[in-house]
A = this chain, B = another copy of it.
Amino acid sequence: MDASFQKSDELTKQEKGKGDDMAYEKESPSKVREKIRRGEITGPTSGMCAGYAQANLVVLPKELAYDFLLFTQRNPKSCPVLEVSDAGSRYLKKIAPGADIATDIPKYRIYEKGILTGEYTSVEKFWREDLVSFCIGCSFSFESELIDAGIEIRHNTEHCNVPMYITNIECEPAGIFHGRMVVSMRPVPYDQIVKAVTVTDRMPRVHGAPIHIGDPAVIGIQDIDRPDFGDRVTIKDGEVPVFWCCGVTPQSVVMDVKPDFVITHSPGHMLITDVKNTDLK
């Protein structure tokens, strides 16, 4: 769901349960980004600006940008790129005109040589002329389509983060980037599986159709009750675990490579774009 690559218990209980998000459900993306920029919103963005796509952020030095862009091209289901900024630019022309990449996300993380060195509500003071920003589609978008299609999203019902797993599926490597695919899991009743596939297949820019349905062991998941990231959810009788490529994959891969300097959003604290989910179909 979001771009967590840390155990989700890093998300504090207060953040997870935060109820006043709903206040921004009907606000426009530009207004909410303005509040974020002014420091009035610093929590997770889940539920804000209903209908608008939210995006994962990976900011890398230009010298790594070609290999990373090639990695996204070779792994489009895990890394559906919505927009890449010009080098040094803090602006996005297509998905969020007027947004400032360095200030309009409620919480950022900075990693140096693969180590999380800090969380910030603005990364203005860290900005460099050689930075390139990658905005990557997020499964928030297809979840709202699944709900519209009558499919329950269990981690919503159980008020927790989506369970995510590191699989045994190797991504296509590109230059210095390589690693295993991370997937998210949603339990689906047998009679809704086909619908879950067809609904998400229509949204290739936010991970598209599932990559696996059923036995977790087939893709190297040993214990479905112990996700690598996010939270365990209930799988009821008559339900099957369905797995989708996850936006955590690119960040997880970037972290493995341990570059000198990377900025990402903080898990759950996404970039709210001006693009409607329906336009990502």
Please give the residue numbers on chain A whose beta carbons come within 8 Å of chain B beta carbons, in ascending order: 65-66, 69-70, 72-74, 81, 84, 86, 93-94, 172, 175, 204
Contact = CB atoms under 8 A, between A and B. Distances in A.
A208 to B, nearest CB: 11
Contact of A69 (B66, B93, B172, B204): B66
Contact of A73 (B73, B172, B175): B73
Contacts of A204: 204
A106 to B, nearest CB: 27
B84 A74 contact: yes
A66 B63 CA distance: 10
7 contacts: A65-B66, A66-B66, A69-B70, A69-B73, A73-B73, A73-B81, A86-B175
A151 B199 CA distance: 29
A69 B94 CA distance: 17
A154 to B, nearest CB: 31
A221 B172 CA distance: 41
A209 to B, nearest CB: 12
Contacts of A94: 172
A279 to B, nearest CB: 14
A253 B65 CA distance: 22
A99 to B, nearest CB: 17
Nearest to A67: B66
Contacts of A81: 73
